[in-house]
Amino acid sequence: MIKEARHYLKNGLSVIVTDNSKRSLFQWKKYQSEIITDDDLQQQMAHPKAEGIAIVCGAVSGGLEVIDVDLKNDITGELWDKLTAQIQEAGLWNDLKIAKTKSGGYHIFYRCEIVEGNQKLAMRKATADELVSNPQLKQVVVIETRGEAGYVIASPTKGYEWVRGTLAVLTVDQREMLLEVCRSFNEVFDEPITSTYKTDTKEFGVSPFDDYNSRGNVIGLLISHGWMVVRESADKVVFKRPGTTDSKSSGDYNKKLGWFSVFTTNSCFLPNKAYKPYAVYAMLECGGDFKEAARKLSAEGYGEKRQSFGAKLEREVFKRKQDGMSRDELVTYVVQSHQKNIKEAQDIVETLDRQWGDRICTFWDIDEKSRAISINRNKMMRFLRDTGGFFIYFYDKTSTLFKLVRLQDGFIEESSTQQVKEFLKSYINGLPDSFDGGVTPDDLLEVLLKGSGTYFQDSFFEFFDAIDPDFLRSEKDKQYFPFKNGVVVISRDDVKLKTYGDLKRVVWKNRVVPFDVTIDQDFDISLCEYANFIDKICGDDDERKKYCWSIIGYLLHTYKDAAKPYAIILAEETDNDKDGGGTGKGIFVKAISQLLRTVKLDGKNFKIDKSFALQRVTLDTQLISIEDCDKGIDFEKFNSQITEGSTIEKKNKDELFIDYKDSPKFIFSTNYMINLKGNHGKRRGRVFEFTPFFNPANTPLDYFGHLMFDEWDNDEWNRFYNFLFFCCSIYMINGIKQPPHTDRLKRKQIKVNYGDEFLEYFTDMMSNGHINWHQFGTEYSAFLNQNDFEKKDYSNKRFKKAMQDSCDVYGYKYESRRNTQNGNHVEFRILSN
């Protein structure tokens, strides 16, 4: 393998070493701009997980670009034959180097002086079966490029082999021609280009635009502007653009969808955008001026003047059409109820059908006498449920409090009045120019706007259907992380990627991680940059690393065990609070936030008992991070939030209570030592100290040479996620490891709770021997005298508590007795446990 890698290097191709899952083994960003040295290559190839070679695309490899044809996503079985036929027809086949891939697809290699970043060239819509597995998968890529910042796996990696050809240099025009051929197989376009200009709805029953769409000769229009028909099938008419070009095709008109799209970048049309016939007319005849296009089309006889058959007849026909009557049934109804002959009835139904278009969901009524429009709230409620997916969710089963939510395709999100309004507005703006006896979108929208104070209140929403979703929740021995391409399921034994269809649970939409993750069952922790960061904040100490891993795992495992309601406290390994900061606590929290919905709060002035303190917390929040806490923060006051659930008070809204099992966990970060002297603090707080490896003079940016997270490639992100999965598994197996309390941490705990003076006294006492019995009053007086204190400055009771807690911190046993042989004085001694 190393011999082949050197061959690539000799031919000016940058290479990197990969594992068995096509992931780069090492950070490869620098190899996007420089060729790997032979020493580095040998070192990387010697890694036990080195199983493949990848060629880096872009300028570093002499302007290399590769087209990836993913045949496993081709449901026609004809893509490769059709694609190669068109490439041969374009005269480019002999200038391309072809490799076959492990999945049965192909890589097409060439060089060019112009190379762009990775591009999706051809996509198709997801099939019904694919949507069951992953409802988020709306489209599937079948052809794409790998350019700057991209790479492809190459021979002799297992499953990859060169098929034919030599690596040649294409001209800019040849490259564009090749990309045009690939784009011609695209089946997914953005929403059709539409006009914001509205024709006069009072003048037209059918607008000039809609009329031209239905009967305009768009093919003849294109031909008249120099576009040449090169071939035609039952579904498409394929065109070649005007002007000089070696391309065999530049765009096509999809007869079924009724729109025109181009593959070329050399026309007035944007590539891979859909243009309805009227939009093609506006571009070619009016330079993109849709208002002028409407005027000219009207002058040419397009557009149907509004025909009125009487509001009563139109209303009755409209209502029956909404009830599902067929066209023939509507004709019969008009003949029987309005004394029309068959020809008249057919003309009426056909005209109204043209004016109204597709089925319209109605949520309004019209007064028969005044013709006034009113919103029917019962109908609108059903419309919002059936079409919009809006429901109410009683998050607190013991109360009548609810949240407005939106459930679509198995994904749920907290909704709002504003989202409901935007949904209705969008729907209304998409209605025909006139419907239901002369109603226009503007008429309906005006009624909705005038009554918005009535229609969009909790008193209306509380009548919505309630749902009790079967949420995807973590379990005691399982953790779930929803990703873009499936759900990661972590248990004690393994980590698997399952489809959404496998689990069939409702997922909070905002919790889905927008990344296509790959599970690495043989994950090598030493190759993960974030794991290296953890090593450094632990001082490369194995015990501290294990403790840190367990803390990360505890935070990520969102199952709330009532016996383990811990809060994580990120502190610093320094005796002097002024020396703190810059040790990496922010990066630690940011890492956790990549998998958990996190609310970050400024801890400097944060008070948990202050009104609206947690108002940013929502139902899908999983972690609350109180950052840069002041040394005076009262940890005891968080007890109920940590152990019983979260009570959220929001301005002008009902109080939100999130039950313990669904409530977020807490993490605190501070340059100081948080006071943990109470029983709650001792039981609930789990402290992790950051070593001063990172500091203002040696930042993570200095150490790693780039910003963590912001400058990672997909491979590093994948290693990062697999490391977090590893930590989650470790926690499930071992729980939170006992914190390796350093002497500094112990000293800081005593200092923050009982002051520098007592710390100094206690330290001296321990160093001078402490197993003998000491008279308590004598020691207390000595402490006061040593620090020039009076009893009011440091009480007898506080001194005793300080002794007991300090012994507890150091793991000593504090014993006390009353000595009758010594004047009945109280004595104490300290023993090792």
Q: Is the peptide bond before 192 cis (omega within 30 degrees of 0)?
A: no
Percent of the residues in the chain that have a pLDDT greater than 70, as a whole number: 94
Residue 156 to residues 3, 39, 54, 66, 106: CA-CA distances in angstroms?
10, 20, 10, 17, 15
pLDDT band at residue 454 under the 50/70/90 scheme: confident
Render pLDDT for 536-547 as a digit per residue (tens, 0 to 9): 999 999 989 999
Which of 379-393, 551-565, 632-646 is least confident?
632-646
pLDDT band at residue 271 under the 50/70/90 scheme: confident
**How high does pLDDT run on average in the chain?**
88
**According to the per-residue pLDDT averaged within each range, which of 28-32, 593-597, 600-604, 668-672 is highest?**
593-597
Q: Residue 201: is its pLDDT beyond 60? A: no
Q: What is the pLDDT of residue 722?
A: 96
Q: What angle do CA 424, 427, 432 make, to 5 degrees?
A: 135
Q: Is residue 454 within 8 Å of 417, Cβ to Cβ?
A: no
Q: Residue 133: is its pLDDT beyond 60? A: yes
Q: What is the pLDDT of residue 307?
A: 66
CB atoms near residue 717 (< 10 Å)? 17
Q: In what order do the strands lie in the sheet with 403-408?
A: 390-393, 403-408, 411-414, 507-508
Render pLDDT for 318-353 as a digit per residue (tens, 0 to 9): 778 777 788 888 888 888 888 888 888 888 888 777
Residue 130 to residues 125, 489, 505: CA-CA distances in angstroms?
10, 20, 16
Q: Is residue 47 within 8 Å of 96, Cβ to Cβ?
A: no
- CA–CA separation, 643 and 566 (whole Å): 8
Q: Which residues sit opposite 495 in a β-bridge?
A: 490
Which of 88-102, 214-228, 464-478, 638-652 is least confident?
638-652
Q: Is residue 535 within 8 Å of 691, Cβ to Cβ?
A: no
Q: Residue 202: is its pLDDT beyond 60? A: no
Q: What is the pLDDT of residue 95?
A: 95
Q: What angle do CA 289, 291, 296 make, to 5 degrees?
A: 95
Supply φ then ψ for residue 420, to 5 degrees: -65, -45
Q: Looking at residues 356-383, what average pLDDT do you find?
A: 82
Smallest CA-to-CA distance from 545 within 734, 768, 313 is with 734
Q: Is residue 122 within 8 Å of 93, Cβ to Cβ?
A: no
Rg of the Cα atoms in the chain = 36
Q: What is the pLDDT of residue 170?
A: 96
Q: Residue 576: is its pLDDT beyond 70? A: no
Q: What is the pLDDT of residue 439?
A: 80
N residues, the chain: 833
Q: Looking at residues 462-487, what average pLDDT do you find?
A: 94
Q: Looking at residues 208-234, what average pLDDT do you find?
A: 92
Which residue matches tokens 């000039």? 208
